[in-house]
Structure 1
Amino acid sequence: MVMLRAALLCLLALPALAELPAKSLEIIAEPTSPSIVVGEMIPVTLRGVYDKRATREELTLRPSDAFDWLPLAKDSWREERIEGRSVIVVERKLALFAKHAGLSRFGPADHRISFVGSDEQVLSSHPLELTIAPMPEGPPFHSPHGWRFAAGKLTIRDELSTDPAHLADGETVTRRVTLRAEGALPEMLPPRPVVSEPWLITFAAPVQRELELTPEGPVASVIWEWQFRPETGEPGVLPPVPIPYFNTVSRKVEQVEIPALPIGYASFAASQSAGGDLTAGSRWGIVGALAAGLAAGFAA
């Protein structure tokens, strides 16, 4: 009786084992939101499951006009037990970025592979189809700051070679701004802001764009560097520069800001204070008010 029951259990297990294909290849999307926007990073896994060890293989993706993409790490090969069967699993992690709104197709993938004891064969996956939403177009995505991109996190670092508000006569200050975006590609980040003031001599260094790959996705950076020297001794203020982006975590348009920058010679402020004219503090107060007005104008 016990042997009969064991035999019946084995027979019941056979259909389940038969449902597992000997070889399979698929593209699996793992979006972080049900509504993906243009330019948002989409985590994707190419996954192959095989019942034999491979002796030679090449995993490729067919060209796509709908997506930019890049691999995040080397292919992972491992043994797993699935539904009672020991199999070989290969995975490739990708980051996808849709170029256009609407229904978009990625793939298929092709795996040219030779197994132990068999000839080379080509396994193909089904293509991946995703519906992509357009990037929001409302404020603050408006002129003159109309560059639009998406990121999971955006940070800014503003570095100065010296105190720009108290320069020695003829001295130059170097400003270096680094914008760092998680879940974005370098070419997606905005162009360098234009700095042009009649009272300021400006030199701009070439733009640097960098890419770092992490298990969570790419991290893009852009570095802008300027050298500033006042044309005259009188101080001035560079207005703040807002940089809007679509936050893929909060699902809202947010912004970081390059702060306002007062620039002037220390000798000018000292001479004004000694001459009984406007003090340096009162002059900076007026300049700050003007900068605030400019910022309000940009935000309107």
Structure 2
Amino acid sequence: MNRKLAHLFSGHFTCAPALLFCLLILLLPAVTQASDLLSATVDRNEIGIDETLNLRLRYSGTESGGQPDFELLEQDFDILSRQQSNQYRVINGRAESFVEWMLVLAPKREGRLFIPSLHYHGEVSDAIPIAVAEAGSRPDTANRQAFLEVDLDKEELFVQEQLLVKVRLYTTIGLHDIATEALQVPGAHVEKVDEQRYERRINGVGHAVYELTYAIFPESSGQLTIPALNYVAVAGRRDPFSLFNRNTQRLRLRSEPQTIEVKPKPDTYSGTHWLPAASLGIVQSWSQDPDTFTVGEPITRILTLRAEGLRAAQLPPLPQLSVDGLKTYPDQPQQDDQVSANGITGSRIETTAIVATKPGDYQLPPITITWWDTKTGRQRATQLPAFRFTVTGSAAATNTAPPGSAADLLPQSRTEMPESNFWRNLAIAAVASHLLWIFYFWWIRSHVASSEAGKRKKPAPDARYQAKSLLQAAESGDAGRLHQALQQWLKARWPDVAGKTLDETRIELGLEELDKLHLLLNAALYAQPPRPLNPQQVKILASRLIKCERSAPVPDSGTPLPQLFG
């Protein structure tokens, strides 16, 4: 037949178009058979930007080894999972084998996308068009099994003001292996401050909610964009006896980007430092009763500047103390940030040792801090009133010898000394000098010993504030808040336990009240079902614990709970 076609083609050149058409008809089945060796199919062609689709790529050829090139596919889609299987089956007495790849894809953008032609061992699959709609625009989105929601607590804010962003994952199905994308906002400082799990009903349907709260502080005015977030999770029940877990499905959830207007600092603001806060206060405390202020004896003044909605790094230094007759020795300031569902509360603690050099009545000047109230939208000022006190005792000596030394008991030398008394006076001076040094070293040693004893007995400067926070948490009955406040108080009261878990601290301190609180917290946090806290009981235990002194650790015969939350 081929010879006849060749003869016909050579002998009848004018019939070449017809002959070429016949050749194409004869060869078409072979070409079609070759293209069927690699096929690509999808489960649907229309999806939302927050949905996924399944791509099935099958190769029926005889060659083996290697992988298809998916590089072009990743230009428009994220490959969430990829599985490969080799299959052999017999249908109607005809045997066939093929290798198959199953891919879960998530679109990177909206619009009309294409799954490109894929190549494998010289074979090429067909391109597949995919229509990607915006989130929530498809008809079946009201019955979605899982979705993301982003909620902002303000519609507009000032520069450096705190913005709370809550990201909620709603689901009506079992989700596990949830991979969250960290929130990053260009031009802003971002901190995660809270994480909660609870249930909410929407249109009569119960949804499990996984909520993350972020505190965002914009660094400049203008438009601030909260970018879209991507969560990846696995739906369905995992089969421990299945190699591929075919009953599970990997989901990619995507939130909508949010934009908010950030206003600059108001022109009417007259404060030295820009402090946009929900509340701001100054607290003064002393290491001992100021009524016992005596010349030459140091007393420590502790000032705590606390602002709700500001980080500690945003708080300004307080004015330096300068009063005639008082010597001051400031210590390094301490900064602390406390996080909760309401955001960040920053504290700046400044400690200054004060020594009076002469008796009399003194007045420490008032301290005024100007700030912007974000709740009322107006400028406010917080003032620590002037403080008056009286210093008793005698004026400090101007010489270097301590008051009351043996040098003060010696008779005053005359301007003219007879030569016969030279050696006697020299001996007296030597003895006095020797006694002076003995007294000086005794005074230094006793002073250091008393200072160290005072440091052991005296709690850290912010221990009182942390104790107040502990009592407030006990009254709230919130187990998570109580757990955090208890750890903060223990760290402030005994700094050497910082970095240890609550269970380790309990064993080391050996306090009965702490053991009881630990048991109540474990029952409220880890028991199934959880047992709610009794606020009155917890407050009594917390009040007793605050008054406790450290004792020797008591051997614990029980087995501690796993460190789930400590």
Q: TM-score, with normalisation over the residues of structure 2? A: 0.40
What is the aligned partner in structure 2 of residue 109 from structure 1?
Answer: 229
**Aligned-residue offset at 1:162:** 4.7
**Aligned-residue offset at 1:100:** 1.6
Deviations 1:149-185 (A, max 9, x none): 1221112211123565773221222111112222222
Q: Quick one: distance in 1 between partners of 2:386 and 2:367?
A: 8
What is the aligned partner in structure 2 of residue 41 from structure 1?
Answer: 162
SS of structure 1 residue aligned to 2:180:
strand
What is the aligned partner in structure 2 of residue 128 from structure 1?
Answer: 258
1:73 paired to 2:194 = yes
SS of structure 2 residue aligned to 1:136:
coil
The percentage of counterpart residues that share the same residue type is 22
- Find 1:228's aligned residue among 354, 359, 371: 354
Amino acid at match of 1:120: R
**Aligned-residue offset at 1:242:** 0.9
Amino acid at match of 1:38: V
- Find 2:173's aligned residue among 33, 38, 52: 52
What is the aligned partner in structure 2 of residue 149 from structure 1?
Answer: 275
**Aligned-residue offset at 1:246:** 0.9
Amino acid at match of 1:49: Y
**Aligned-residue offset at 1:86:** 4.8
The structure-2 alpha-carbon separation of the partners of 1:86 and 1:262, relative to structure 1 and needing over 3 Å to count, comes to closer
Q: Quick one: distance in 2 between partners of 1:191 and 1:74?
A: 32
SS of structure 1 residue aligned to 2:297:
coil
Corresponding pairs, count: 248
Q: Quick one: distance in 1 between partners of 2:269 and 2:172?
A: 54
Q: Quick one: distance in 2 between partners of 1:107 and 1:16?
A: 25
Q: Quick one: distance in 2 between partners of 1:49 and 1:163?
A: 56
The 8 Å contact of residues 202 and 229 in structure 1, kept in 2 or not, is answered as yes
Higher share of residues assigned helix = 2
- Find 1:161's aligned residue among 279, 282, 287: 287
The structure-2 alpha-carbon separation of the partners of 1:89 and 1:267, relative to structure 1 and needing over 3 Å to count, comes to closer
The 8 Å contact of residues 41 and 183 in structure 1, kept in 2 or not, is answered as yes
SS of structure 2 residue aligned to 1:187:
helix
* Greater C-alpha Rg: 2
The structure-2 alpha-carbon separation of the partners of 1:139 and 1:105, relative to structure 1 and needing over 3 Å to count, comes to closer
Deviations 1:203-230 (A, max 9, x none): 1122112222333332222211111123
Deviations 1:233-276 (A, max 9, x none): 5655432221111111221111212332446632479xxxxxxx
What is the aligned partner in structure 1 of residue 217 from structure 2?
Answer: 97
Amino acid at match of 1:178: T
Q: Which moved more, 1:198-207 or 1:165-174?
A: 165-174
Q: Quick one: distance in 2 between partners of 1:258 and 1:214?
A: 27
Q: Quick one: distance in 1 between partners of 2:174 and 2:207?
A: 9
Structure 1 unaligned spans of 5+: 1-14, 270-300
The structure-2 alpha-carbon separation of the partners of 1:86 and 1:169, relative to structure 1 and needing over 3 Å to count, comes to closer
- Find 1:178's aligned residue among 273, 286, 304: 304
Bigger RCO of structures 1 and 2 (CA < 8 A, at least 6 apart):
1
What is the aligned partner in structure 1 of residue 239 from structure 2?
Answer: none
SS of structure 1 residue aligned to 2:194:
coil
Q: TM-score, with normalisation over the residues of structure 1? A: 0.71
The 8 Å contact of residues 175 and 235 in structure 2, kept in 1 or not, is answered as yes
The 8 Å contact of residues 29 and 42 in structure 1, kept in 2 or not, is answered as yes
Q: Quick one: distance in 1 between partners of 2:389 and 2:141?
A: 75
Q: Quick one: distance in 1 between partners of 2:291 and 2:366?
A: 16
Q: Quick one: distance in 2 between partners of 1:262 and 1:218?
A: 34
The 8 Å contact of residues 211 and 220 in structure 1, kept in 2 or not, is answered as yes
Higher share of residues assigned strand = 1
The structure-2 alpha-carbon separation of the partners of 1:86 and 1:237, relative to structure 1 and needing over 3 Å to count, comes to closer
The structure-2 alpha-carbon separation of the partners of 1:28 and 1:212, relative to structure 1 and needing over 3 Å to count, comes to same
Q: Aligned-pair RMSD on alpha carbons? A: 2.9
Amino acid at match of 2:365: P
Amino acid at match of 1:98: P
What is the aligned partner in structure 2 of residue 293 from structure 1?
Answer: none
**Aligned-residue offset at 1:64:** 1.8
